[in-house]
Amino acid sequence: MALPPLVEPAAELTVDEIRRYSRHLIIPDVGMDGQKRLKNSKVLVVGAGGLGSPALLYLAAAGVGTLGIVDFDTVDESNLQRQIIHGVSDIDRPKAESAAASIAEVNPLVNVVIHNTALDVDNVKEIFSQYDLIVDGTDNFATRYMVNDAAVLLGKPYVWGSIYRFDGQASVFWEEHGPCYRCLYPEPPPPGMVPSCAEGGVLGVLCASIGSIQVNEAIKLLTGIGEPLVGRLMVYDALEMEYRKIKVRKDPNCALCGDNPTVTDLLEDYEDFCGAVSAEAEEATLNATITARELKDWQDSGKDLFLVDVREPAEWEINRIPGATLIPKGEILSGEALSRFPQDRQIVLHCKSGVRSAEALAALKAAGFKDAVHVQGGIVSWVNTVDPSQPSY
């Protein structure tokens, strides 16, 4: 459905702006009025990563007057495969600052506001209140639910996107005109069910595909043209080159925007709501967790270990801890690989960061391997503290 423009037009465009945006101005649906609305718009992009990179660049190029960037992370070499707003010279630089510098090169007429901080329940409302529209480029469920809840509570529309390997999704959530994110996903997935991009990977160019959809939706909302993806979920399969749309209806039983809401303010702890690890995994790791340095000490002392890497084969090809055996987590959880575990050796599990190994540890302990342990921080900790010669990812 068509919606009214989100913002009023600015008083005028300068001669420089008319030259810069001439290709917009000659589009009848945009024209002078639409470009003035973009100039008068204030848009916040949450995250200057995979989705935030193309979103920020195209929002700036389009002439959005004020662009906010909220990101507390720094640029890492592994980001450069997809986070095109950053370059080699930006490594170790705060992402928000790096992104702002790139925007200035693309369009110095844009006012950039840097929020070099972690978005949390204490600051999200105050930050969001400064903007007309939110573009969500986050990559974890805790922040997604917090962004949704804050947007609904403040009456702000926001454009959402998600990417994983070759698949992407995008939609527009605006409680005043349609469903919110909780209508689509009332509960977060079980811990460990959906790997992050850092664990499962993502095709770099997929970020541009979904990020550009997000900008397209933002422009439509700001200027009041076309039909935004309110009440519709766009699903993209890059391998099959297929787009499809799924209707998303407002849920009358939604905990946030339904007829009788039970969530009337921000939650105290979104990490707890989403659960980084399951309760079983958290219990299993009690008194069964060692550090990477302790693992190295065990190896050096000749302790009889059965060291198991529970990552996927593609990750195993990147780096590995000497002496480890690859048994992917899924084979442990299904019970398929339990017969490979010895009863008379010290079992040590590890993954990339410690989340998957904790889930696998819970399955092993339930199967009777009571003395099994896992490595806190996984191979990331091993590379950082024991063997920095190995590549990270």
Per-residue pLDDT, averaged over 169-176, amounts to: 97
Model confidence band, residue 192 (pLDDT cutoffs 50, 70, 90): low
Position 95 scores a pLDDT of 98
- Whether 51 and 210 have beta carbons less than 8 Å apart is answered as yes
**Catalytic annotation, residues:** 197, 351
Ramachandran bin of 236, using left for φ above 0, alpha for ψ from -120 to 50, beta for the remaining angles: beta
Position 176 scores a pLDDT of 94
Position 275 scores a pLDDT of 67
pLDDT in tens, 9-45: 999 999 999 999 999 999 999 999 999 999 999 999 9
CA distance 178 to 198: 32
Per-residue pLDDT, averaged over 142-164, amounts to: 97
pLDDT in tens, 231-284: 999 999 999 999 999 999 999 999 999 999 999 999 998 987 886 677 788 889
- Whether 353 and 377 have beta carbons less than 8 Å apart is answered as yes
Average pLDDT, the chain: 94
User: Which residues partner with 326 through β-bridges?
Assistant: 309
Residue 223 reports pLDDT greater than 80: yes
Query: Hey, what amino acid is at 14?
Result: T
CA dihedral sign, ordered 101, 103, 106, 109: negative
Query: Hey, what amino acid is at 111?
Result: N
Residue 319 reports pLDDT greater than 80: yes
CA distance 296 to 265: 47
CA distance 277 to 150: 24
- Whether 50 and 83 have beta carbons less than 8 Å apart is answered as yes
H helices of the chain, where?
Answer: 15-20, 22-25, 31-39, 52-62, 95-106, 124-128, 141-154, 181-184, 197-200, 204-223, 270-274, 279-284, 292-300, 313-316, 329-333, 355-366, 378-385
CA distance 295 to 324: 11
Burial of 126 (0-12, 13-18, 19+ CB in 10 A): exposed
Model confidence band, residue 193 (pLDDT cutoffs 50, 70, 90): low
Measured CA to CA in angstroms, residue 291 lies from 217, 278, 288, 329 at distances of 46, 21, 10, 20
Position 316 scores a pLDDT of 94
pLDDT in tens, 95-149: 999 999 999 999 999 999 999 999 999 999 999 999 999 999 998 899 999 999 9
Position 80 scores a pLDDT of 96
CA distance 116 to 119: 9
Burial of 255 (0-12, 13-18, 19+ CB in 10 A): middle
Q: What is the DSSP letter of 350?
A: E
Distance between the two ends of the chain, CA-based, in angstroms? Answer: 43
Position 188 scores a pLDDT of 87
DSSP-assigned states of every residue in 98-144: HHHHHHHHH-TTSEEEEE-S---TTTHHHHHTT-SEEEE---SHHHH
Position 393 scores a pLDDT of 82
